[in-house]
Amino acid sequence: MAEPLRGTGHYQRVQPDAAKGCGNLLLRSLPAEQFSYISPYLEPVPLNEGHVIVARDEPIDFVCFPEAGVTSVSDVLADGTRTEVALIGREGMTNAQLLLGCEQASHEASVQIGGGRSLRLSADVLRDLCATHPSANRLFLRFIHALSLQTARTLASNLRDPTEKRLSRWLLMCHDRIEGDDIQLLHEHIGRMLGVRRATVTDTLHLLEGHGAVRSKRGRITVKDRPLLEHLAGTAYGFAEEHYRKLIGPFGKGVR
């Protein structure tokens, strides 16, 4: 297993007006005063595919605000089996349960797609921000709520939806969190995330290709018709995303 993601070893102040240029939508939703409060402590760290940002059962010493890529949050069983329970990208943060009084990470978070960087913040600084600025605390709690809605919809979709809908939803969620239309990921990895066999992923992608929604080549899936993919996903997709937009702000590439 890859080592937990490490920082650069020093803190950097984000440049003036950085909230406007910051790639993380959650941080950009903070008022300027609150962003300035934490900006001296935001530490840029690299995001590379396969890196573990959060390891299960580790003390929560920091949170990360990704500016790019797709991070998979997984439940890890005693035998090492991993099941994806949520996706986080530039719209969110890791270790948000810190604000609910949790001291240890309950899930693993690892970079699945893309790279770039994340802005890391000490848990103590985040606690201080939320203690002195109730509106910041409300913002982060709203994100926790939006993330819980995503997780609940994932559970509901896994229980009731055929693989075609589930894969359509998962591709849309990834598409929301990347630049462009190309999703770089092997079928085997997608199967691991969805809890299905690699062959099932391949067969289902052929169906989506037949509809004209995507084009699939080894290691790359291109979204060709986003509205059609949303139609194929049906009610499996859009619920959590709509609530994020209502609670926090614009997010995603959806047409709804």
> Model-level pTM greater than 0.85?
yes
**Above pLDDT 70, what percent of the chain?**
91
111 falls in which pLDDT band (50, 70, 90)? very high
pLDDT for residue 6: 40
For residue 42, what pLDDT is reported?
96
Categorize the per-residue pLDDT at 40 as very low, low, confident or very high, splitting at 50, 70 and 90: very high
pLDDT tens by residue, 137-179: 999 999 999 999 999 999 999 999 999 999 999 999 999 999 9
Return d(Cα 109, Cα 89) in angstroms, integer. Answer: 11
Average predicted confidence (pLDDT) for the chain? 89
Shortest CA distance to 254 belongs to which of 155, 174, 152, 176? 176
- Lowest-pLDDT choice from 13-27, 36-50, 159-173, 183-197: 13-27
pLDDT score at 13 = 36
Model confidence over 193-230: pLDDT tens digits? 888 999 999 999 999 999 999 999 988 999 999 999 99
